[in-house]
Chains A and B, each alone.
Chain A
């Protein structure tokens, strides 16, 4: 008897589609750590999301928008020339960079802003780092005629002036955040403050698989179209499942979107690539899974960059989209269970991969995605040529041209 029940427990633990539990926990991670004022709106969102996730009309509407507005399915591209040069496994790129607005972020904002309009909310707010999530939110808000306010760190506003202008063109109000360190984490704090003050009218569109339950689950679900398509596409092109998946992890939404539909496929290896900035040992990085500790921030328990007093440390990465001191709680759980390997890639390594893909395949990747590509350059040569690696090319690199040029001392 005891053997049987322990087998059953093992099976449950290995059925990753059962997570999170009803209270949003992934093992010890996740949960709902927010001020009391936000508890009722968050609980309302939990109920509403669970309802619409089962509602066939909503699911159809979401799929229709993904097809006709976002431009899905995104292609699965065999980077043949680059694979040959690296001399190992075949690298396939999931082309999320070809989505409307240029990244995977819009999968989630289509879902959440649709949900906001179903809930009768007239106003959506969002936090943004590099501006990609802000642009994706402003885009869908414009399409559905909702007011949109985006909180963005004052430093990021300077670094990403083009995305700020894009958001304003789309009719969004961009509010500079000067509190704390004036970056993404502080933008998130200010968005939470706005939500607490405007709970009746406002829907908070969180841009990654973090925050209080149901956000980590909901954002994962909206992005899991990436993994579902990838599964079908690789099966069609290759006749079997991929051997390995690679995606970059900041908050971790593109990685969860790719990984989730494969989690129960034991033979598919997975690598989440964190930004090691100037190197893990330098202390200037954005790699809480590789070098952080569990703690509580922004509504959930997860791995964080923090000092010995429990104060959050400002991260560093060349890529603004990975520049976050926390990570989605499901990634924390997948690290502890060993299902996904989390590995560091430095600014320098990411930049090399940025140039390699641009020159070898004629595709300019986002600096975020370049971290995943950089890890592929290390892994592919260790694998046989008949093996298949899928790299999530989560966004296009146009937004990063100025950053790359500046590093090379070029004024664009």
Chain B
């Protein structure tokens, strides 16, 4: 059993909705990232999505772009990201950690080397936003050989037959992008999300996470009524951005927010 499948099975048994929290690795510093990861877990996050900064994040909105720029300015690279995960694993061997980023920083390492190193430090899954399944065979294979999950995005524009083919090669969970646009966009239409999720579920038994555009307890709660997992990124990263000079203040602010999110999604009645 992988950490992700153990988590989802456990949450299903205990009727708990899963909360995935995204932060950008190295924002504002690698040390702060480690502290924030533990704080997110303490406040109720079930999965840590760790953004790997890239110079050209074309699928991200302005908040996560700015976080990536801060991280790159202080020298964050794949090695520091993997080291941070290794340090996190010293005291938390349960919480799944998923890396989310773009293909080029993986491509330059080589797929096998990346997959081996990621598995070794305790990464559980990888989301590569600019690598659709059509181009992903070799990376998916390398990840699978190292017991890492390949997590793919589904979008409002994804055609039904494509949903099926993506779900067929995905593992861990699938990530439904709740709106047309980039991370942190505004308008979330929960009715449309509900319709699309029921279609996704026709094609897969994998847990379905929903993200992009979830900015507060209320939208988290609405999404949690439909999804297995709620993914929150920009709203957390924004709280870090507002406290760049004071890591302790950032930790407090982020923890309060994640606690609110946890309470909101725990108030959702579980239905099968």
Contact pattern, B 158-182, Cβ under 8 Å of A = 1, otherwise 0: 1100100010000000000100111
- Asked if A197 meets B185 with Cβ closer than 8 Å, knowing A35-B129, A295-B107, the reply is yes
Task: Check B109 against A189 for contact (C-beta < 8 Å).
Answer: no
The interface residues of chain B, by DSSP majority, are classed as: loop
Question: Does B218 touch A at the CB level, under 8 Å?
Answer: no
Q: Which residues of chain A have C-beta atoms less than 8 A from B152's C-beta? A: 36
Q: Which residues of chain A have C-beta atoms less than 8 A from B157's C-beta? A: 36-41, 199
Bound CA–CA A197/B179 (angstroms): 8
Question: Does A81 touch B at the CB level, under 8 Å?
Answer: no
- Asked if A296 meets B132 with Cβ closer than 8 Å, knowing A36-B154, A36-B155, A37-B157, the reply is no
- Asked if A310 meets B177 with Cβ closer than 8 Å, knowing A33-B131, A196-B59, the reply is no
Contact pattern, A 172-204, Cβ under 8 Å of B = 1, otherwise 0: 000000011000011011001100111110000
Number of contacting residues on B, CB 8 A? 44
Question: Does A297 touch B at the CB level, under 8 Å?
Answer: yes
The interface residues of chain A, by DSSP majority, are classed as: mixed
Question: Does B119 touch A at the CB level, under 8 Å?
Answer: no
Q: Which residues of chain B have C-beta atoms less than 8 A from A185's C-beta? A: 56
Min CB–CB distance A401 → chain B (angstroms): 32
Bound CA–CA A306/B102 (angstroms): 14
Question: Does A67 touch B at the CB level, under 8 Å?
Answer: no
Question: Does A311 touch B at the CB level, under 8 Å?
Answer: yes
Number of contacting residues on A, CB 8 A? 39
Identify which of residues 299-317 in chain A touch chain B, using a CB-to-CB cut-off of 8 Å: 299, 301, 304, 306, 308-312
Question: Does B272 touch A at the CB level, under 8 Å?
Answer: no
Min CB–CB distance B173 → chain A (angstroms): 15
Which residue from chain A places its CB closest to the CB of B185 in the assembled complex? A197
- B155 CB contact (under 8 Å) in A32, A37, A193, A309: A37
Question: Does B140 touch A at the CB level, under 8 Å?
Answer: no
Task: Check A36 against B108 for contact (C-beta < 8 Å).
Answer: no
- Choose, from B16-24, B41-49, B61-69, the stretch at the interface: B61-69
Min CB–CB distance B203 → chain A (angstroms): 15
- Asked if A33 meets B135 with Cβ closer than 8 Å, knowing A180-B56, A180-B69, the reply is yes
- Asked if A310 meets B105 with Cβ closer than 8 Å, knowing A185-B56, A196-B181, the reply is yes
Can you offer 19 A-B residue contacts whose CB atoms are under 8 A? A32-B134, A33-B131, A34-B58, A34-B132, A35-B59, A36-B129, A36-B152, A36-B154, A37-B153, A37-B180, A39-B155, A40-B159, A40-B162, A197-B182, A295-B107, A296-B130, A297-B56, A312-B55, A312-B56
Known pairs A37-B157, A192-B59, A297-B56 / 16 extra A-B pairs, C-beta < 8 Å: A23-B134, A32-B132, A35-B130, A35-B155, A36-B129, A37-B59, A37-B177, A39-B158, A180-B55, A180-B56, A196-B181, A199-B180, A295-B107, A296-B102, A296-B131, A299-B130
State the 6 A-B residue pairs at the shortest beta-carbon distance, nearest first: A310-B108, A197-B181, A310-B105, A309-B77, A37-B155, A35-B59
Which A residues lie at the B interface, using CB under 8 A?
23, 31-41, 179-180, 185-186, 188-189, 192-193, 196-200, 293, 295-299, 301, 304, 306, 308-312
